[in-house]
A and B are shown apart, each in its own frame.
Chain A
Amino acid sequence: VLATLLYVFVLGRTQGVAWAAEAILAIAWLYSVAIYILREHPGSVRDPARYLVTVADGALLMAWIAATGGFESPFHVFMYGMPVAVAFEHGHRQAVVASAACAAAYLSLLALLGQLTDNAPEAVIRAGCVLLIGPLGAMVTREAWEQGKAKVELRARATATEDAKKQVEQSLARLEQAQATLQESEERFRKIFHANLDAVALNAHREGWLLDVNDEFLQLTGFSRGDVLGRTADELNLWVDQGERKAVLAELQEHGIIRNRECRFRMKDGTVRWALFSAAVAEVGGRRCVVSFLRDITEREQAAQALRESEERYRRLVELSPDPIVVQVEERFAYVNAAAATLLGAKDPREVTGRSIFDFIHPDDHGAVRERIRQTTPERWPRDLIEEKMVRLDGQVVDIEVAGMPITYLGRPALQLVARDITERRRAERELEESRRAVAMAEKLSALGTLVSGVAHEIRTPSTYVTNNLFLLRHRLELAAQEHPALHDLFQEVVGYCGDALEGTERINRLVQDLRRFTRGEVRRRVAASLHEVAQVALDLFRATRRGHIELAVDLRETVRIVLDRGEMEQVVLNLLTNAADAMPNGGTIRAATRSAAGGAEIEVDDEGTGIPPQVEARLFDPFFTTKADGTGLGLSIARRIVDSHGGTIRHCTQPGSGTRFTVYLPSDASERTGGDV
């Protein structure tokens, strides 16, 4: 409208009417196109009728312009066009008003421009034309519009009727098919219903009446068909737990289906059975129903329950067991109970779970344990207890006894071990053994002491007159030798024999004294002497008494002087030499050596003998323990006691088959310990 007005005033005055007509034609086209585009955008133009009208406005205007061959002025276009447009838009009444307004506006404009007085009659005729054209044009065009519209609608209705007819035919065909399918489906349903291995029941959806049940249902519940048909589950008292029933119904209501819910049902005889309950809402025979399936799982449930209880019992038994119990998988702890954790020195079983069992088994027992594991198969395993030492987390060693058997743990082959801490028992056993030995030893020593005391007296008495007589004999022979020079050599020889005999009695005497001293534990007087001197005397004695193929390799080096009991130390060396010789029944070489050692001196006696077997080694220094047929079992025992009393040590090193070496060490400050006993 604004654009039209602009042309009316600007172009109309300057270029003339023909130009104005073309311009308006163009605007009308643009207007139509704009409307068309806007139609493509829903929401911009809401009412299709209204824009059609507006397009028609433009078309009519164009037709008008074409028919009249242009207008004298744009006012005419406006005047003739406006009423028609308004008529299309709003109806005849408005078109009349618009025509009147346009005519009035035309006349007013002419009057304003001062042209009314020039052509007054023509102006009035034109105004009157405007008044007529609006309503007439509107009536004519609107009538035609309405008619066209009605015709189109009629045609559309005819087409719709045709379509509807076709649809009805198709529906009928489908319905027939559906009915056939339904029959088939119901047949299938019936078969499934009755041939099902589960108990199946069909309830009316709303009322809950049982409409049908299969034989399995009857068999399971113990009801007869007559008992159940037309009754509700409630009336039959089927549900054990009403809360459960409500929950199931609510879910069925919501989802239309429920699957494999474990529920309990009461049978006719009152027993309660577990069943997997499934149900669905379905249309059966044109009626809304609930189909329920019950699978009896009582046995399974009972077995599962029994298993759970059994597992619980086992778990409690193991967890609360005062005996340590572990499960080992591939030589690692897979499970450790509290008692076992305590045994291993852990506060919590988790500290040791997952660790290798060999972290805790004493290295001495690794071999035995591996062998034991090797012997254990799922079919056969050793039933007896194995004793082994374990090393706790804190490093303490405990004695245990273990029984094991193969099990399956979390699906893997495993060993279940039950252990018992026998450290205390072991200690008690050891102590008992030691005390037994000590008692036995004390008894032996006591008996020996009595024996020695008695025997000593009996030996020393005849020994007295042997000694005395030898003394007299030697004395007389010495005198005789002086008196009879011819027989001097002979007498001197016999004097020598007497001397030897006296020496022998002296040794008998000393032996008796030593034996007595051993049984009483006496200490004799000590003097400062050198070990090599002591060794020399012992070696001389040994040489004088020893027979057989024994070679001596002697390497005596001068040593520091040590306060010692010469007789006793000679005895020690002599005992070692005697043992060395006894270890070599087929002869050999004994090496004897003395030397200074740190803070004292050492004497070493080395043989090439049979060596000491381990079982003998442990008891080597026990009194009265001997492996010799004629041994007293006192030699090393006395030697050890003597060396101990000197504050020294006696040690040995043996190699079965190649010999033994004994080393006696004496500290040089022994005098301080004996308190100036020199």
Chain B
Amino acid sequence: VIKVLIADDEPGVLSSTSAVLKLFGYAVSTVSDAREIIGILRVERPDVLLQDVRMPGLDLAAHLKAIRSDAEVGRLPIILFTANLDADDVGQRLGADGVIGKPFDPNQLRDLIARLVGARGSGPNT
């Protein structure tokens, strides 16, 4: 089962998005505190991180850099999850693997996750 970690501070977004992803058969865990993300990544080892770009206390650039520089989780596919309309190119610049807007077409998100995980091939957790 593909594990997805959703990091978002909006409970409504967290619950509905995890429900949608669960519907598609993913194993979903969530985190709403930015400071906990790295720890959870290390513990849970998800296949994909769906990362909200605007969380309280989150410096997105530093955050992504920290993940990428981590020996264990550095190769994790990261999808930026944003309600900001201007984030498309920001995502690319910061080293994310994909960007999905809010609100999103659930099928589109599923396709994106499938593509990223498939491209990663046999990861440590598969």
Interface centre among B16, B83, B85 (most CB of A within 10 A): B85
Q: Is B23 an interface residue (CB 8 A)?
A: yes
Given the complex of chains A and B, what is the CA–CA distance between A462 and B8 in angstroms? 13
Given contacts A462-B12, A465-B10, A468-B19, contact A453 B86 (CB under 8 A): yes
Between A and B, 24 residue pairs with Cβ closer than 8 Å are: A453-B86, A456-B84, A456-B85, A457-B84, A458-B83, A460-B83, A460-B101, A460-B103, A461-B10, A461-B13, A463-B102, A464-B16, A464-B83, A464-B104, A465-B12, A467-B104, A468-B13, A468-B16, A468-B106, A472-B20, A475-B23, A512-B85, A513-B85, A520-B86
Q: Tell me if B92 counts as interface (CB < 8 A to partner A).
A: no
Q: Is B15 an interface residue (CB 8 A)?
A: yes
Answer yes or no: A661 CB below 8 A from chain B CBs. no
Q: How far is the CA of A509 from the CA of B85 in the complex (A)?
A: 11
B68 at the interface (CB under 8 A from A): no
Question: How many Å lie between the Cα of A472 and that of B15 in the bound state?
Answer: 11
Within the complex, the shortest CB–CB distance from B107 to chain A, in Å, comes to 9
Cβ contacts A506-530/B at 8 Å (1 or 0 each): 0001001100100010000000000
Alpha-carbon gap, A459 to B101, bound state (A): 12
Contact of B13 among A465, A475, A516 (CB under 8 A): A465
Closest to A516 in B: B85
B101 CB contacts on chain A under 8 angstroms: 460
Q: When the two chains form their complex, are residues B83 and A465 in contact, meaning their CB atoms are under 8 A apart?
A: no
Closest to B52 in A: A461
Closest A residue to B84 using CB positions:
A457
A461–B102 CB distance below 8 A: yes
A459 and B19 CA atoms in complex are apart in Å by 21
Contact call A466/B103, Cβ cutoff below 8 A = yes
Residues of A within 8 A of B (CB-CB), count: 24
Cα A462 to Cα B102 with chains together (Å): 9
Residues of A within 8 A of B12 (CB): 461-462, 464-465
Q: Is B85 a contact partner of A471 (Cβ separation < 8 A)?
A: no
A469 within 8 A of B: yes
A472/B19 in contact, CB under 8 A? yes
Interface residues on B, range: 10 to 19
A513 to B103, CA, bound (A): 11
Say yes or no: B17 contacts A464, CB within 8 Å: yes
Which of chain A's residues have a CB closer than 8 A to the CB of B103?
460, 463-468, 505, 509
- Which interface residue of A458, A462, A464, A505 has the most chain B CB atoms within 10 A? A464
CB distance from B8 to the nearest CB of A (A): 9
Considering the complex, which residues of chain B in the window 53-106 have a beta carbon less than 8 Å from any beta carbon of chain A?
Answer: 54, 83-86, 101-104, 106
Give A471 to B17 CA distance when docked, in angstroms. Answer: 10
Q: Are B83 and A456 in contact (CB under 8 A)?
A: yes
* Residue numbers in A under 8 Å from B86 (CB-CB): 453, 516, 520
Q: Quick one: closest A residue to B81, CB to CB? A: A464
CB-based contact B19/A461 at 8 Å: no
Closest to B106 in A: A471
Residues of chain B lying within 8 A (CB to CB) of residue A475: 23
Interface flags for A441-461 (1: CB within 8 Å of B; 0: not) read 000000000000100111111
In the complex, the chain A residue whose C-beta lies closest to that of B83 is A460
Chain B proximity mask over A386-424: 1 for CB below 8 Å, otherwise 0: 000000000000000000000000000000000000000
